[in-house]
Amino acid sequence: MEKIALAIVDMQKYYLESNSDYSRYFEHIYPGSLSYIRECSYNTVIPNILKLKNCFKSLNLPVIYLRLCSKEPDRSDLHRFFKRTYEEGVSKGFAGVYPIETDIAADIIDELKPDHEDIIINKTTFSPFSSSDIEAVLKSLNVKVLVFTGLATSQCVETSARDASDRGFDVFHIHDAQTDYSEIEHNASLYSSRAVCGGAVYDTDSFIQWLNESI
């Protein structure tokens, strides 16, 4: 079997914690807009990612965390949409809507804290294939298959999965280990990317059973 890695996308403090500038900014301009994604994350996605991570660890398979954050104080390296949102946040009194990589807000949430051997890759775009050395890292590990989890299904997860597929990686989507701003967006994203990414959409328990039987 080709080597398989777990990709955990953007499960970061600024995205999920209600006291972050990101959360306070979006609550200010779109009240309630983060309610669904946050509730689904804590009730379903985080527990399922933990189950998947434990499975990958038990099989000695790599776990890769992706983090969306900037290296530049002015956020000039971010995708133009993120940069624009950052600047709009600053103008409304929210200085750190998208944090730099050294900020605590950019860290992975405590519930999913990386272990010392896990791989952390920072990106400034929706997909790490556009703004990081992830492809070289995966090739160095002889990884041929990526299992996608995290946030948000229709944005960074789907874009990363499509880019991975274009570069020759096989892709699995774990539908109950990722989520979006609404159920409709989540399901639409999975269905729209299904053919491009190979059609492998599993729930957590079924995937774990398949993986254990395949190794």
pLDDT digits (tens, 9 = 90+) for 201-214: 999 999 999 999 99
CATH 3.40.50.850: does it fit domain 3-214? yes
Q: Say how far apart CA 69 and CA 54 lie, in whole Å.
A: 26
| Regions of the chain where pLDDT drops below 50 | none
Amino acid 1: pLDDT: 63
> Phi and psi of 9, rounded to 5°?
-100, 115
pTM value? 0.97
Q: Say how far apart CA 91 and CA 120 lie, in whole Å.
A: 31
Amino acid 97: pLDDT: 98
Amino acid 160: pLDDT: 98
Q: Confirm if 173 and 197 have CB atoms less than 8 A apart.
A: yes
